[in-house]
Amino acid sequence: MPTTPESADELSIADLQRHIHQMYYEKDVARGADGTFMWLMEEIGELAAALRGDDRENLAEEFADVIAWLATIANVVDIDLNAALQAKYGRGCPGCARLVCVCPNSEKP
């Protein structure tokens, strides 16, 4: 795994997952998927609270935390997030297969 992301200004999903792996993998594996999932749930709760507030800096931090913990769980269970995203969303909406979704609002795409 690379030691640093390619650019300080841009961090792809693949870069992020490798970066998180390098920083935290040993701790994450020791905690396991269940324990790590609980941390993700805590961060989702913090994001929910931030969405109700007006502190944009905190909101951005909470979005970053949720994505980082999601990458952490993916590392623990050996899922390549970039490949998973490409497989499911790379050709458009999984429901209607269009780039701009035309699924009815009553359906989850």
pLDDT attached to residue 4:
52
pLDDT attached to residue 1:
45
38 lies in a domain?
yes
pLDDT attached to residue 89:
94
Long-range contact set of residues 92-97: C-beta below 8 Å, sequence gap at least 24: none
74 lies in a domain?
yes
68 lies in a domain?
yes
Q: What is the CATH number of the domain that holds 28?
A: 1.10.287.1080
Q: What is the mean pLDDT of each successive set of 10 residues along the chain, which is 109 residues long?
A: 58 95 96 96 98 98 98 98 96 93 85
Structure token digits, residue 65:
């935390």
In the chain, how many domains are there? 1
100 lies in a domain?
no
- The answer to whether 63 and 16 are in contact (CB under 8 A) is no
pLDDT tens-digit series, residues 5-25: 555 688 999 999 999 999 999
4 lies in a domain?
no
Range of the domain at 69: 13-78
